[in-house]
Amino acid sequence: MTEPNKRKPLDIRRRSIYLLPNLFTTGALFAGFYAIVQAMNGKFEFAAVAVFIAMVLDGLDGRVARLTHTQSEFGAEYDSLSDMVSFGVAPSLLVYEWAFRDLGKIGWFAAFIFCAGAALRLARFNTNHDTIDKRFFQGLPSPAAAALVAGFVWVMGDFDFTGHELRWYAATLTVFAGLSMVSNVRFYSFKDFNMRKSVPFIVIFLLALFFILISSYPPGVLFLLFLGYSLSGYVSWLMSLRKQPPSQPLP
């Protein structure tokens, strides 16, 4: 008979795999916390890069959980709380410290719109993600909104612009991102993209060119990429309005 206080090696291995996706979530949470600290210290480029690192880690934790069959309610709640810090608090504090200090109440109000939009977006996603079309997000995803704001700070700082010079542009972009998160505009989720299926060689070639393009100038390419994504939902919405048949006049 085996002793009751000894665990089987298989049980220990399963416990370690179960912790794996939460380690990625913890890494994303740390990146968001690091972004807040660096923003408070005036190191805005480091803070912006940390937001992008958090976005990468946040994208990995769910995929790792699905691949290892370790999804759990705890992991989902932990991921949501991590997202609030990394994609709600960190970007709003970053842009406030960078550009909004001289705007007074308008500055913190614009930053709060983004922070509140992220909180509402995450709460809405947690409550209705089982009932909506998996191919689309309802509202701009909070990681994309955070990348849009952080990318703007990163690329403009790289061009030696100060936040004071661009404070009104930053406020407009921040409010736009915050309101987009709570809008009903649909954004493509890429969840129906199956990487296990065979693809033509040209797809692999284009992916290689894509990564080369990002590596050539990360701040500019990433900002334009997420700016285009944040506008894509509105473009699709306008196109759908044009395709609707005209209403028939009443007799």
The predicted pLDDT at position 235 comes to: 94
Of 185 and 18, which is predicted with more confidence? Answer: 185
SS3 label, residue 5:
coil
pLDDT at 11: 47
Percent of the chain at pLDDT exceeding 70:
85
- Pick the closest to residue 31 from 83, 95, 105 (CA basis): 83
Mean pLDDT (whole number) for 14-25: 72
Given a cut of 70, whether residue 72 has pLDDT beyond it is: yes
- Average predicted confidence (pLDDT) for the chain: 86
Domains along the chain with CATH numbers: 9-233 (1.20.120.1760)
pLDDT at 18 over 50: yes
Joined tokens for residue 174: 């921040």
The mean per-residue pLDDT over the stretch 180-184 comes to: 95
Percent over 90 (pLDDT), the chain: 60
| Predicted structure pTM score | 0.86
Residue 245 pLDDT greater than 90, yes or no? no
Where is pLDDT greater, at 116 or 62?
A: 116
Look at residue 144 and tell me whether its pLDDT is greater than 80: yes
**At residue 10, does pLDDT exceed 70?**
no
What confidence tier does 196 reach under pLDDT thresholds 50, 70, 90? low
- Write the DSSP string, 152-215: HHHHHHHTT--TTTTHHHHHHHHHHHHHHHTS--EEE--TT--TTS---HHHHHHHHHHHHHHH
Average pLDDT on 183-200 reads 76
Q: Looking up tokens 């050539």, which residue turns up?
A: 216
Among 93-102, 172-181, 189-198, the range scoring the smallest mean pLDDT is 189-198
- Cβ atoms of 149 and 174 closer than 8 Å: yes
For the chain, counts of helices (H) and of strands (E): 9, 2
Measured distance CA(29)–CA(179) in Å, rounded: 24
